[in-house]
Amino acid sequence: MATEKINGLNVMLLDETGPLLASEQDALDVIGATYGLEVDAVAIPVARLDPDFFVLSNKLAGHFIQKLQNYSMRLVILGDISAPMASSKALTDFVGETNRIGHHFFAADRAAMEAGFGRAR
């Protein structure tokens, strides 16, 4: 886990390896890891998310993101999710709407993440 300044924001970048994340408790654990670090956002690699995170009907993604929202923590899902999006119109719509609003967002790569933090919310 590392923290970097990106476009004026302190962003905690979670490691590619580690336990899979999906539950509200996992979101709280991520938030807890930011205490005392003056972190504005957390970037979670797709590899760290349980595959069920992308099945919207189980509400894992919504609850996870809402928990970070409740604690005023921005979230970036970092990596390629084209495969789950290809099999789910609901997920494609969710990603599109999340990125349109811009507080939390999905970024395919580092460059997209940096651009996402650079745009106005």
Tens digits of per-residue pLDDT, 96-113? 999 999 899 999 999 999
Answer yes or no: is pLDDT of 119 > 70.
no
* The two structure tokens encoding residue 80: 């390629």
Q: In sequence order, what are the residues at sequence separation of 6 or more whose Cβ sits closer than 8 angstroms to the Cβ of residue 44?
A: 14, 21, 30, 75, 76, 77, 78
- Residues 33 and 51: their CA atoms lie apart, in Å, by 23
Predicted TM-score (pTM) above 0.85: yes
The answer to whether the CB of 101 falls within 8 A of the CB of 69 is no
Report the SS3 class of residue 13.
Answer: strand
Spatial CA neighbour of 82 closest among 113, 46, 57, 44: 46
